[in-house]
Structure 1
């Protein structure tokens, strides 16, 4: 009996062991397959990366061979900030041709004549130093000063030879960059008559605000928050939000859609407050209500009147000592149709009386959303290309080259400041704790940048910041 039990025990053990062996073998096989698949996947991914890198390298080599075998007579314009993203392109600018590229290996090429920078991406971590005597630096910067404050101080902006900025004083002014043309200002496509607006007032506030970039250097939200105490404001954006847009347009990508425009056009007044206060810094915030047939309540560029279609087309918030005073004025216009319509007569009559605006739009060398014209980046490229070629021709004639240099007026903004109606302090911590200190520090950054570039050799970020905080 014991012998039989022992035999059964060993048979059971053998069966369990065999079963365990089969399971283990299957696991090993599956793991092997998984590892092979994983290895194959990694190999495929690596091959794809190598193939992509090889493709870019081949494209670069082809362009390089083409350039060396026939294009070498053309000046090279090197985009140090890869704004265009092009590996290489021979571009015709009138009677001139230049080779534009983001390939930094061309920095050492003898035909590289200009290095182009995009202001927002201008980074002290990587600069084309040492700067050769024949390398001209060109700056394209159309955006807000908050994106790169140090460029807005004389030591930094004067590092450049050529400029395209929102300032009318730059070599290629971009002040009207958000305005497609004069015709769109006088268009009545979205215009809503005052009689209909009065009916809509039963469900809409007299004023609308749409902004999702909250607490910028202009401190606009502080002003509008105070304004809301004295007059109703429908705020659709993230800042001071109190009303929702329809679901189908509740997305930043629909901010320029016809449906969104029709919603805004129903309002009598649109708050148009810039994110920074600089001369000539004028964005779509002003042009949008003018295009739609609403009255903009504007705060931003101190010289905005130079750009308005008529002398009575916008309400300037800076003309009122307190938001309460502005609210009272808006209420008065809201109740008096004849006074309100005075701000829209220029549009209804299709007559723009501002000769400065008319001349600026007609004479600019680029277009906005116009396939028949170059865009402003193309115009910037061609401006630099043409100037380089002009100097090449002067040199061939034995004449002195023309020296181009940016002036401090080409990009400048005052320090951010609090509104005068505030009781001796900024109510927003962002203004007090961030923007004012940031602006003051940017002065030191501009000085440090100038000193290091004047040494004309590469420097580290640690050297830069040590110099910034030393001053």
Structure 2
């Protein structure tokens, strides 16, 4: 009898313990469910340059996310957002939980932040939005407003119309640039061209002409203004050299002349032919041995209407103006482009919603690799006369090497998962540079 009582008491105790565990488990699950399904997922912008208060709840399709720049909310955040142009090497949210997604937005070339292009840095990010077609939110064609802009004749000038200006040479070429120190050596190449061909240069780089007074005010922030496009469309050729030669890094320098019906003289992205409207839409600097050979071909085109217009089939072939299926597919599927006037269509809002969707639906073990921001360490520049090297190429080479060193240090610091500041980072960078230890490879 006593044995039966003991078993009975033990059974009751076990049931009480089980009920208690079940109660607390269900309470915790209710809290978890409430966090998951009633409270929005939180994302934190990590930038010292956001001095204003930013705290918004955004509906991204079926998902809701709270996006803020309040650093105090980082422990609650599922994702941390970085803008590549203002990342500071001594300012990262560490220690970092394994559940926290890091997301990078960087539409620029590596001139602002050279360490970003290195795999040692990129592999710490789960989500990227860059010019590369391989990033999670590609911005490859962001500077092309629409396919209609390519085919429209709003700014089109006939061959005869371009040739009627007696005060311009038959081979009329325009250069409009105000960034005079580039990794691609743009200004050095144009100087070489100018030795063989008159070029109208309106920007602060190599300027020899003044824009009409109505266009002189803030044209850099109005690169697609109708007045500017109409003015430039009277030229036959426009120099379109990017500030850096990275695969898929394509800016308005390529698209704008195409929109106007002007033939671009292009140097930059080595993958540019994947994106031109037709097989022959631009003149590529790399197809010529030197500037003199290029000028010879330009003169040939400028005096031959049939040959010249063969580069403008996106304007003239009404039945099939764009034959590039990759470009056509991109225009339909891309998530962001300039000129989108729909609600919440800014680049930053598109990025925020893309990351919101990503943190809710994608596994955390997916990481970025070098293809997500693919730029060469060695500056790439156009071929000039007598194998000349652009004036500032050594400085850019040194800057990229320092960037590589910075990326390796950041990689090691991130792996330690301990917070560090600017002074600690700079001390380590200086130690390696002085000891010539920047070339040491990080663990993979």
Q: 1:382 maps to which residue?
A: 353
Give the aligned partner of residue 292 of structure 1: 260
Indicate yes or no: 2:374 matched with 1:445.
no
C-alpha change, 1:219 and 1:304, in structure 2 (3 Å) is same
1:51 matched to which residue of 2?
A: none
Q: Residue 368 of structure 1 is aligned with which of 327, 334, 338?
A: 338
The list of structure 1 runs, each at least 4 consecutive aligned residues, that deviate by more than 6 angstroms after superposition, is 68-72
Deviation at 1:338, TM superposition (A): 1.5
The separation in 1 between residues aligned to 2:420 and 2:353, in whole angstroms, is 31
The structure whose residues are more often helix, as a share, is: 1
Q: Look up the match of 2:136.
A: 171
Number of residue pairs aligned between Structure 1 and Structure 2: 391
- Does residue 357 of the first structure (1) align with residue 319 of the second (2)? no
1:331-369 CA deviation, whole Å, 9 max, x = no partner? 111111111111112312241000000001101123432
Greater shift, 126-135 or 327-336, is seen at: 126-135
Please give the root-mean-square deviation of Cα atoms over the aligned residues, in Å.
Answer: 2.1
Aligned to 2:367: 405
Tell me whether 254-263 or 303-312 shows the greater mean CA deviation.
254-263
Which range is displaced more, 257-266 or 159-168?
Answer: 257-266
Whole-Å separation in 1 of the counterparts to 2:137 and 2:35 = 34
CA distance in 2, matches of 1:163, 1:85: 24
Unaligned segments of structure 2, at least 5 residues? 1-33, 438-444
| Contact 1:211-1:237 within 8 A present in 2 as well | yes
Query: What is the TM-score with the length of structure 1 in the denominator?
Result: 0.79
| Partner of residue 107, structure 2 | 142
- For the 8 Å contact 1:417–1:436, the answer to whether it is kept is no
**Pick aligned residue for 1:105 from 52, 67, 72:** 72
Match of 1:122 in 2: 87
Could you tell me whether the CA contact under 8 Å between 2:134 and 2:371 is conserved in 1? yes
1:273 maps to which residue? 241
How has the CA–CA distance of structure 1 residues 71 and 85 changed in structure 2, closer, same or farther, with 3 Å as cutoff?
farther
Q: Greater relative contact order (Cα 8 A, min sep 6): structure 1 or 2?
A: 2
Q: Tell me the TM-score normalised to structure 2 length.
A: 0.84
- Checking the alignment, whether the CA contact within 8 Å between 2:80 and 2:100 is kept in structure 1 is yes
Q: Distance in 1 between matches of 2:53 and 2:37?
A: 17
> Of the two, which has the highest radius of gyration?
1
For 2:72 and 2:195, the matched residues in 1 are separated by 59
Does structure 2 retain, via aligned residues, the 8 Å contact 1:185–1:290?
yes
**Cα distance in 1 for residues equivalent to 2:166 and 2:359:** 58
Q: Which of 340, 346, 350 lines up with 2:308 in the alignment?
A: 340
Q: Distance in 2 between matches of 1:197 and 1:423?
A: 33
Displacement of 1:201 in angstroms is 4.9
- Aligned in 2, Cα 1:197/1:274: closer, same or farther, shift over 3 Å? same
Over residues 254-311 of structure 1, what are the superposed CA-to-partner deviations in whole Å (9 max), with x where a residue is unaligned?
Answer: 4332221111000000010000000000000000000001101100001101110001
Structure 1 residue 389: Cα displacement: 1.9
Q: Is the 8 A contact 2:139 2:336 kept in 1?
A: no
CA distance in 1, matches of 2:269, 2:166: 30
Counterpart in the other structure of 2:225? 257
Call closer, same or farther: CA 1:103–1:207 in 2, change over 3 Å.
same
Equivalent of residue 59 in structure 2, options 92, 117, 124: 92
Shift of 1:72: 6.9
Shift of the alpha carbon at 1:210? 0.3
CA contact (8 A) 2:224 2:256 kept: no
